[in-house]
Each structure stands twice: as structure tokens, then as C-alpha cells.
Amino acid sequence: ISLPSVLHSSQEGSDIVATRFGSAGDHGQVGIALRRSTDRGLTFLPRQDVWRETNHTIGNPAPIWNRRTGEVVLLFSRDNKEVWVMSSKTRGRSWSKPRNISAATVPYAKDWEWVATGPGGGVQIERGPHAGRLVQCCDHMQCSSRGGCKDVTVQEPWNFSHKGSHTIFSDNDGLHWQLGAVVGNGGEVWGGECSVAMQPSTDDKHDRLVMAIERDKGAEFAGQDRAFAMSTSGGASFESLQWNDTV
């Protein structure tokens, strides 16, 4: 079991811990499971398997609580190359059939050979012009033009030209998704595994997004692993990355 993601919903004080199970590595036979709590995390019900496929890697569960509909939206990665989504109207007791949203969220024309959601869940913007938007942080790797990428499903290291972070978002409660900002897209600053959180604005009328990038590998931040960026556009764009050595 690895990459747990905790989600708290306001309904009935319920909590969900979604995680992957199976292989401890990035590849292999991996599925998604969860445990639910109805007493604010004091106790948890037995493990519930959510989705798995034979000979496929189903991982990086990233839940988002939709306050507008009461649904739990669950994004995940399939084989580290695709992004899928499913949802629950019963606070995790049952789930819809997963849908592949890669065509709208993964620009394969840019040779993205690795795509992973999270780790960690996303957010729903509460105030401002983008109120109601669901936003999830992801990371990707792009093939090197010097000989292409190795098969990322079977071996490491990868021959990639850069690692980046990006957002995907939905403005209609998770029905349709699109690619948002791409951060650390080459150059001296690279991205990596990331998470996103909300920060109230100074006028308290709209929310800003904070992207936190873990394990940045760019030359500019050599030997450092934490970078941050701010967004006032609901994740469609971000300001330049800033290193923070206090974290």
C-alpha cells in the first residue's frame, strides 16, 4: 500500500482514505482501494477495493470533494500514461464506471510519455470567478529528442528531456476536463510530483491557488527539492516558480 490520499467531506463527518495496493513500485499489478470513516477518522471500515485491471497499473488516486453536488470525484493514472476519472454519489460506498479523459488532458503531441495524478487529492475553488472549478495537480515526463524514451512500463531510468508539473481542471462538476497550466516545462527549472491548495485573497472575495512541487530536479534548484507557484486564474496559469528553503 502506498500513496494514500485523505479526503474529508462535510456530509455526516465522513472521511475517505484512498490508496493504491499491490506492487510497491511505480509499475506492475496495482489497484485502488479505500477505507471509509463515519466518525471523523476515529475508526475506519474494512478495506474496499475500488478499481483494478489485470496486467495494468491503476494508481495515484486523487479524490476531490465536490461541495456543489455532494459527489466524490476520483482521478487516477492508468499505466502511468493515461488519466481516468470516476465518481461516487454515496460518499465512496459505490462508484461510477471509470472514464478515460486522456484525450483532453494529456498532450501526446508533445511526447509526454509519463503522466501521473497527484500524489494527493485536488481542490474545489470556493470563491471568485472560478468558483466551483475542480483542480488537480499532476506531473509528467517528456521524451528526449536524442533517441526517444525507453519503455517506461518495464525499466528505469528514463531517457526524458524534462520533468514538469501541470494542472487539469473541470468547470462542470467533473463531466469534462481540460489541461491547465504547465509549470517547469523544460529550461533550467523542472517540475515534479505536486499538490495544490487554496489560499484566500487579501480582499477575501476570491481564492488563489498554491502549487507545491516536491522533488524538483531542475538545474536552477540543484540540490533543492521544494518549489511553489501562485495562480489567480483558477489553475489555468501560474506565476514563476519560487524556491522555499523553509519547507
Q: What is the pTM of this model?
A: 0.85
Is residue 130 within 8 A of residue 234, CB to CB? The reply is: yes
Q: Give the C-alpha separation, 31 to 22, whole Å.
A: 6
Residue type, 67: R
Kindly report which listed range (16-25, 30-39, 125-134, 193-202) carries the lowest average pLDDT score.
Answer: 16-25
In this prediction, residue 209 carries a pLDDT of: 81
Cell of 174: 467533473
The predicted pLDDT at position 22 comes to 61
- How far, in Å, are 36, 45, 245 from residue 135 at the CA level? 23, 28, 26
Terminus-to-terminus CA distance in the chain, angstroms? 26
Looking at the predicted structure, is the pLDDT value of residue 7 above 50? yes
